[in-house]
Chain A
Amino acid sequence: MFDALDMGASGLQAQRARMDTIAENILQANTTRNERGEKIPYKRRFVVFAPGRADDTSKPGVHVSEVGLDQSPPLRKYEPGHPDADASGYVSYPNIDPAIEYVNAMEASRAYDANITMMEDTKSMINSSLRIIA
């Protein structure tokens, strides 16, 4: 049953990685340049989960197998005075919908809570089993 605790830990790690990605999406929602200063808007990231632990996928658990890039076209807004506006006055913004990100964040948070509950139950079951011999 100790295995369930390791499984829970892998679940917590995966959901935290998902939450980190969502946080980055929200904070970069208005970023119109990349890290090299080019006029390429930030691309939304998302995590892809796969069964099995990160260090050994044959063991039961979950891990982030990939951080994907959303290839949907950027949102174009007419802002002629903006330094990143193109010749026709449009600025390309990342295609990020805060509502979608908030819903995903809520889902990740609930899943994290569920993992914690499961780990608490595992601990109580292990403790009660140990009390047979005490």
Chain B
Amino acid sequence: MFERLLNQSSAPVLEKMLQFTAARHNVIAENVINISTPNYRQKDLSLDKFQEMLGERIGQRDGAPLGETSFDDISAELENPQRGILFHDGVNRSMEQLMSDQAKNAMMHNFVVELLKKQYSTMEMSLKDRPG
């Protein structure tokens, strides 16, 4: 029953998003520290593709019975974006792009955390207010 309660609101979507932002943070961090490493290929997790997968699953959930749809198998794939200039040492570095991605990702993470906190506090409040 409790599993169904947790799985029918936006909580599983937010949890998945939180996992994604944490994983993407690690990938961006790795790019930043390897900014001077020759022949290092920059990596990224595509936010657009991830959100697309998440959106599709939310669509499937709308027509399915409560608590039946799982979000556990959704994961973002690691890719090597070919953006930016390829420098003579074989690195397509862009510190500005990395820092902006990093800032956006951190903001997204904190935003999702706030939404999740709100979700849980609402749940807690409704549990506390049960009569008897």
Q: Is A125's CB within 8 Å of the partner chain B?
A: yes
> A14 CA to B25 CA in the complex, in Å?
20
Chain B residues whose C-beta falls within 8 Å of the C-beta of A117 in the assembled complex: 99, 102
Say yes or no for B52: interface residue by CB 8 A criterion: no
CA distance A123 to B89 in the complex (A): 32
Contact of A121 among B34, B40, B102 (CB under 8 A): B102
Q: Does B76 reach chain A (CB closer than 8 Å)? A: no
Cβ 8 A contact of A118, one of B32, B38, B116: B32
A residues contacting the other copy or chain, number (CB 8 A): 33
Q: Which of B29, B36, B103, B120 contacts A122 (CB 8 A)?
A: B29
Measured between alpha carbons, how far is A106 from B66 in the docked complex, in Å? 57
Minimal beta-carbon separation of B78 from chain A (angstroms): 12
B53 contacts the other chain (CB 8 A): no
Q: Which of B18, B34, B36, B38 is the one whose CB lies under 8 Å from A107?
A: B36
Q: How far is the CA of A117 from the CA of B30 in the complex (A)?
A: 13
B58: interface (CB < 8 Å):
no
A25 interface residue (CB < 8 Å to B): no
Chain A residues near B21: list those with CB within 8 A: 125
Q: Cβ of B26: which chain A residues have Cβ within 8 Å of it?
A: 1, 3-4, 7, 60
Main secondary structure, interface of B, reads helix
A124 part of interface (Cβ distance < 8 Å)? yes
CB nearest to B27 among chain A residues: A60
Q: Does B37 contact A (CB under 8 A)?
A: yes
Q: For residue B18, which residues in chain A have a CB less than 8 angstroms away from its CB?
A: 129
* A118 CA to B60 CA, complexed, in Å: 37
CB within 8 Å of B: which of A1-17?
1, 3-4, 7-8, 10-11, 14-15
| 15 interchain pairs, CB-CB under 8 A | A3-B26, A7-B30, A8-B33, A11-B32, A49-B37, A49-B38, A62-B33, A107-B36, A111-B95, A114-B32, A117-B99, A118-B29, A122-B25, A125-B110, A132-B113
9 pairs of A and B residues whose beta carbons are closest in the complex: A11-B33, A49-B37, A4-B29, A128-B113, A121-B106, A60-B30, A1-B22, A62-B33, A128-B110
